[in-house]
Amino acid sequence: MAAPQVWGAAIEDSQTISLFTGEETADSSPPLPRPTSQIAENVTIVTSDDIARLNAHTLAEVLQTVPGIQLEFNLRTPSTFTFFALQGALNSTVLVLIDGIRQNDFDQNFAAPGLIPVQQIERIEIIKGAASGSWGSALGGVINIVTKSPNPDRPASGQVSATLGSRFTADTIGELSGTKDRFGYYLTAGHLRSDGLTPDTATNMNNLYGKLSYALPGSGTATLGVSHLTARPGLDEADTAAWGFVHDNNQNTRSYGFLKIQQPLGNKLRLDFQGYATNREDHTKYGGLNEEGAITFFNDYAVKDRTQGVNTSLSWGDRKKSLVTGIEYIHGHGSSRDQLSSDPAYYDRSWDSFAWYGNGSYSIGDLTVLPGVRFDHTGLSGDKPSYTLGLTYQLTEKTTLRAYAAQGFSLPMLLADTGIQKVRTVQGGVESGAVPYLWLKGTYFFNALRNNQSNGDGKATNQTRQGVEIEARSTPFFGLALSGGYTFLYAKDSDSGQRLQTNSNQTVPPHLVKLALNYDQLDLGLRGALTGNYVVWNAAPDYPTSSSGIWDLHLNWQLNPKNALSPELFFSAHNLFDGVQTTNTILYNNASRWYEGGARFKF
């Protein structure tokens, strides 16, 4: 999406140049939407500006706008549970990292995107396809979240924002950030609540995040961070009493802390060290009505895991040749049991995992070769080597060709260990700004999966998934810019040769379309986005899906655009045409049309 502040700054430069030379700067060529990426994988970047434009509350709302990603239940109440698929890869095979720390649980390898608030996010990097050569258990891809840094310009600055919407859906956020001499800090707190936009999805989520940084001698940085989140998002099955139960709510606690040190060691060598600890506890309660008609719980499934880990890496080199090598160690403990039952735990185990990795880049002229290897002693499911080989070729100043081959893996669920999941992937594509007023990216992908574990019954199958993804962005015209993405997927069972259908085991939509019309007139203080999402599920005959298009409108108005501290009002209308887009119309319908509005104050 656009970042018009750069244009504004360029205008300021034009004034300076005019003052010094007495001449106007004239640049007649139309600007390109963005520079081409020079890495081999298919990567999409989402920035904090994009997030602010969407008035998003959680990662789920952001992911829904990314080409190739599809939420299964679209958006119910913010923070509620949903599965998602990345080019047909189950969410359990997509590694989600915040500050370099794994957010997926070990029970089902699932990171709930509704439980990741976006207020502290600076940037999201979405790597589509196997990325085990760098990241380990990441068969389907990686969602790498980089958090905000202390404001280097001021000793104290911040922002408060408040949103109020349908069904008393309210999000209140405060941020403080600044730098004084060598010390920097970034602190944020947020509270999200709702009476529930769909039945029984009332929610209450609290988030605290803090980061302290210290500039070390020799251009190094030490950063200490903590994060704590609690949430009670309801589930959506209360009306299914005919089934004999009410599936009432979840309770989630997520905490982590880390110490990160980045220190240059001489000219071309840099040391990165990170130590961290995490704690996660999820309760899912099932209940029903007792004889007096009150809800009573039958089960309280408690899934807990704790990890302590160390990552350390050395980076050596420059753009022409570079090498990053590192080691990772995790000590983990996970357990799962029904706390309302005297049955033994489903599992209760500890493990130690180690990994070594090396990734390099080697450029000869316009060709760059990107090899990578990684060896994982998983501690849970044996040892696994992974490797990648990427190539990029700068065909012209505006066009880059890329190819990528990799072998990777994902861990099986602790809940149902069917052995390690494996993938071999090949991708090839082109990214270009050669067409006037357009930026285009096309990628072909082919994945051969072995022992691929399903979401539903946990069974393992062999599959091939291949397809094409096309992304486009236009140059703004009177502040309006169009962007879009289309993903075609053909997935089949490799053993039977049958085309796979979307059902409780997998989500394999053959057609996925994302559209966005963005508006930016920063001199008027106006920005906005109209986003659309359309999916064809190719559902199994007995599977209750619905695939209406979902359109959202987001408008932002900064009252006095000349003053950076001026308040900004915002308004969002979600699901404008009341569509239903879900893989389960019985249990998990998305929210119908709803509205919210609010204000942001910076200081």
Partner 1 sequence: MRRLFFLILALLLTAGPAAASEVLVVQSVRSPMYDDALKGFRSVCPAESRTIVLSDYVDAELARVIREEQPRLVLAVGDGALSALRKLRRPPTIALMALGLPHAPSSAENLTGVDLSAAPGQYLALLQKITARRIGIVHDPAKTGWYLKLARVAARQLGLELVVREVSNPRQTIGQLDSLKGAVDSLWLLPDTTAVTMETLEAYFLFSQRESIPLVSFSAAHLKLGALLALELDRADQGRQAGELALQVLQGASPARLEVASPRKVSIKVNDAIAKRLNYPAGLISSLSKK
Question: Which residues, 392 to 431, sit near partner 1 by CB under 8 A?
Answer: 407
DSSP state of 234: B
- Coil, helix or strand for 404? strand
477: contact with partner 1 by CB under 8 A: no
| Residue number, 278 or 558, with CB nearest to partner 1 | 558
Q: Quickly tell me which residue has 């999200």 as its tokens.
A: 192
**Contact criterion met (CB below 8 Å) for 198 and 73:** no
- As a whole number of angstroms, the distance between CA 248 and CA 250 comes to 7
Contact positions with partner 1 (CB under 8 A) in 157-176: none
Nearer Cβ to partner 1 (9/259)? 9
Of 188, 201, 388, 572, the residue at the interface with partner 1 (CB under 8 A) is 388
Report which residue type is found at 114: G
Residues 87-126 that bind partner 1 (CB under 8 A): 122-123, 125
Contacts of residue 360, defined as CB under 8 A and 6 or more positions apart, other chains included, come to: 317, 321, 322, 323, 324, 370, 371, 372
- 149/494 with CB nearer partner 1: 149
Q: Which of residues 280-299 bind partner 1 (CB under 8 A)?
A: none
Residue 14 touching partner 1 (CB under 8 A): yes
CB of 17: closest distance to partner 1 in angstroms? Answer: 5
Nearer to partner 1, 25 or 496 (CB): 25
In sequence order, the 6+-apart residues with CB closer than 8 A to the CB of 521 are 479, 527
Task: State which residue, 388 or 556, has the beta carbon closest to partner 1.
Answer: 388
Instruction: Give dist(CA 279, CA 305) in Å, integer.
Output: 6
Cβ pair 69, 82 in contact under 8 A: no
Q: Does 484 bind partner 1 (CB under 8 A)?
A: no
Nearest distance from residue 554's CB to partner 1, in Å? 18
Task: Select 186 or 594, whichever has its Cβ closest to partner 1.
Answer: 186
3 binds partner 1 (CB under 8 A): yes
- Tell whether the torsion through CA atoms of 550, 66, 410 and 301 is positive or negative: negative
Beta strands 141-147 and 94-98: pairing type? parallel
> Where would I find the H helices in 43-131?
48-54, 59-63
Contact 547, 557 (CB under 8 A): no
What's the closest the beta carbon of residue 564 comes to partner 1, in angstroms?
11
Residue from 164, 189, 222, 369 in contact with partner 1 (CB under 8 A)? 369
Q: Please tell me whether residue 177 binds partner 1 under the rule CB under 8 A.
A: no
Tokens 């998003």, located at residue:
56
CB 255 within 8 A of CB 231: no
**Binding residues among 488-507 for partner 1 as defined by CB under 8 A:** none
Q: Given the complex with partner 1, which of 244 and 266 has the nearer CB atom? A: 266
Site map for partner 1, 506-525, x if CB under 8 A? --------------------
Return the residues of window 204-223 that contact partner 1 according to CB under 8 A: 215, 218-219
3-state secondary structure of 152: coil
Contact with partner 1 (CB under 8 A) among 476, 485, 509, 532: 476
For the segment 445-474, give every residue that binds partner 1 (CB under 8 A): 473
The token pair that represents 5 in the structure block: 């502040």
15 in contact with partner 1 (CB under 8 A): yes
**What is the spatial distance between Cα 135 and Cα 465, in angstroms, rounded to a whole number?**
21
342-361 footprint of partner 1 as x/- string (CB under 8 A): ----------------xxxx
Residue number with CB closer to partner 1 (8 or 382):
8
* Residue whose entry in the numeric block shows the structure tokens 């099986």: 412
322 binds partner 1 (CB under 8 A): yes
Q: Is 34 in the site for partner 1 (CB under 8 A)?
A: yes
Q: How far is the CB of 469 from partner 1 (least distance, A)?
A: 18
365 touches partner 1 by CB under 8 A: no
Q: Residue 382, interface with partner 1 (CB under 8 A)?
A: no
User: Is 45 a binder of partner 1 (CB under 8 A)?
Assistant: yes
Q: Which is nearer to partner 1, 10 or 241 (CB)?
A: 10
Task: Report the nearest approach of partner 1 to the CB of residue 255 (Å).
Answer: 25
Of 218 and 344, nearer to partner 1 (C-beta) is: 218
Of 25, 240, 339, 496, the one binding partner 1 by CB under 8 A: 25
Tell me, residue by residue from 247 to 286, as one string, x for binding to partner 1 by CB under 8 A and - for no binding. Answer: -----------------x-xxx------------------
Number of chain residues interacting with partner 1 (CB under 8 A)? 81
| x/- letters, 178..197, toward partner 1 (CB under 8 A) | -x-xx-x-------------
Tokens found for residue 246: 């009410």
Q: What residues have CB less than 8 Å from 564, skipping those under 6 apart?
A: 602
Asked if residues 299 and 286 have their Cβ atoms less than 8 Å apart, the reply is yes
Residues ≥6 apart with Cβ < 8 Å to 496: none
Quote the CA–CA distance of 235 and 284 in Å, as a whole number. Answer: 9
Of 561, 568, 560, 598, nearest to 190 (Cα)? 598
Residue 378 sits in the site that holds partner 1 (CB under 8 A): no
**What torsion, rounded to 10 degrees, do the Cα atoms 453, 454, 456, 459 define?**
-50
228, 232, 321, 602: which one binds partner 1 (CB under 8 A): 321
Query: Toward partner 1, which CB reaches closer, 32 or 550?
Result: 32
Interface residue with partner 1, options 244, 292, 293, 319 (CB under 8 A):
319
Rounded to whole angstroms, the Cα distance separating 373 from 526 reads: 47
Q: Which stretch binds partner 1 (CB under 8 A): 8-16, 98-106, 341-349, 553-561?
A: 8-16
DSSP class of residue 58? B
Min dist CB 315 to partner 1, Å, is 7
Tell me whether residue 6 or residue 259 sits nearer to partner 1 (CB atom). 6
**Which residues, in sequence order, are bridge partners of residue 281?**
253, 304
Q: Find the shortest distance in angstroms from Cβ 187 to partner 1.
A: 17
Options 86-94, 371-379, 505-513, 568-576: segment touching partner 1 (CB under 8 A)? 371-379
438: Cβ–Cβ under 8 A, 6 or more apart, which residues?
Answer: 33, 472, 473, 474, 475
Residue with Cβ nearer partner 1 (235 or 420)? 420
Q: Mention every residue, 6+ apart, whose C-beta is less than 8 A from residue 436.
A: 30
Asked if 42 interacts with partner 1 (CB under 8 A), we say no
Strands 246-264 and 269-289: antiparallel
Q: Which of 94, 60, 103 is nearest to 256 (CA)?
A: 103
Of 334, 339, 346, 335, nearest in space to 300 by CA: 339
